[in-house]
Structure 1
Amino acid sequence: MKYRKLCLAICFLIGGLAISKAQDIKTKDVPAVVKAAFSKQYPNASDIDWKRSGSNYKVSFDLGKVDHKATYTPAGKTVSYGKDIPNSSLPKTIADNIRSRYPKATIDDVEWINTAGKITYKIGLDGTPDATLWYTSDGKFIKEVAD
């Protein structure tokens, strides 16, 4: 039962992030406590873009040449963070499952996401089908969203 609730919570969060009604905002409109938490965690971030999603603040940024994302509460607490990873870093069990389920598709991009210590992977597929997939860190399929 706990696993099911966790999966539902992760799906809700990821789904919310993927289809959020986020609105671009200027850095000056982000609460100081949120900016301070972000700057402390990512002092070398560049190309920083903020969005408001519900009551939370989402930030997209680069560390080196790698795209990252993080979500903060208005109090500056981290809700989730993630980064793009090379396709070759995708756990073998997930890659094998994708090849088995979607033999006519290719993996376009992979995002590693940490939500309250729970790791998930968001995988973009090109081909048949064009879709976005979510998996748990231990290779369990969460959901598919057609692109």
Structure 2
Amino acid sequence: MEKRILMGFFALLINAHLLFGQDIQASQVPSVVINNFHKSFSNASDVEWKLQGDLFKVEFETGFLSTDHDAWYDKGGKLIEHKEEISKNDLPSAVRTTIKKDYNNYRVDDVKKVTKGKQVVYTLELKSVREELKVAFDANGKLLSKVLD
């Protein structure tokens, strides 16, 4: 049994780059991806590239307060997904209204705006004395998912 667990652990380690990405140099990223990234995020700083499966993930910061971003591009340079850290005050008013109505005793933390194509989802953590929730809302304040953390 120990041997099986050990083999599983090593298999996970070997394949971890598929889940978490393999760090790569910008010189290893296709120029079309780099060019499209610079067009979309000309003020990016602290840029780090990873290869996740067949997608190029770029982690970077923008602005005076160093807002965190993650973006995924395909090999052709198409932006597949963009995740950015935002303030709870930047949530759409409908989302803030839903939180105030349904989760009034919770503290809002780790707010992100996730864009995939034309779909925008807001993810965040809600924390109370008794529990922590990870939730996702659409721009109209509709709860899309709720997971006990």
TM-score category by the smaller chain? 0.7 to 0.9
Residues 72, 79 of structure 1: 8 Å contact kept: yes
Which one of the candidate residues 20, 23, 29 is aligned to 2:21?
23
Secondary structure at the residue paired with 1:21?
helix
1:138 counterpart = 2:148:
no
The CA distance in 2 between the partners of 1:132 and 1:57, in whole Å, is 26
Unmatched tracts of structure 1, length 5 or more: 1-19
Unaligned runs of 5+ in 2: 1-17
Q: Distance in 1 between matches of 2:148 and 2:32?
A: 37
Separation (CA, whole Å) in 2 of partners of 1:144 and 1:50 = 30
Please say if residues 24 and 51 of structure 2, whose CA atoms lie closer than 8 Å, have aligned partners that are also in contact: no
Q: For the Cα contact (< 8 Å) 1:48–1:60, is it kept in 2?
A: yes
- Name the counterpart of 1:44: 43
Name the CA shift for 1:103/1:129 in 2 (closer, same or farther; >3 Å).
Answer: farther
TM-score by length of 2: 0.74
Aligned partners of 2:133, 2:50: CA distance in 1, in Å?
Answer: 24
The alpha carbon displacement at 1:40 in A equals 2.1
Higher Rg of the two aligned structures = 2
Q: CA deviation at 1:69?
A: 1.9
Q: What is the CA-CA distance between 1:125 and the residue it aligns to?
A: 2.2
Assess, with a 3 A threshold, how the Cα gap between structure 1 residues 131 and 30 changes in structure 2: closer, same or farther.
farther
The correspondence of residues 18-97 of structure 1 with structure 2, limited to 5 A, is 21-27=19-25, 28-64=27-63, 65-97=66-98
Residues 77 and 90 of structure 1: CA distance in aligned 2, closer, same or farther (over 3 Å): same
Report how many residues are paired: 128
Identity, % of aligned pairs?
29
**Residue type matched to 2:24 in 1?**
K
Measured after TM superposition, the shift of residue 60 of structure 1 is 1.5
Q: Deviations over 1:11-33 (max 9, x none)?
A: xxxxxxxxx81213122332232
**Which stretch of structure 1 is more off in the superposition, 23-32 or 42-51?**
23-32
Scaled by the length of structure 1, the TM-score of the pair is: 0.75
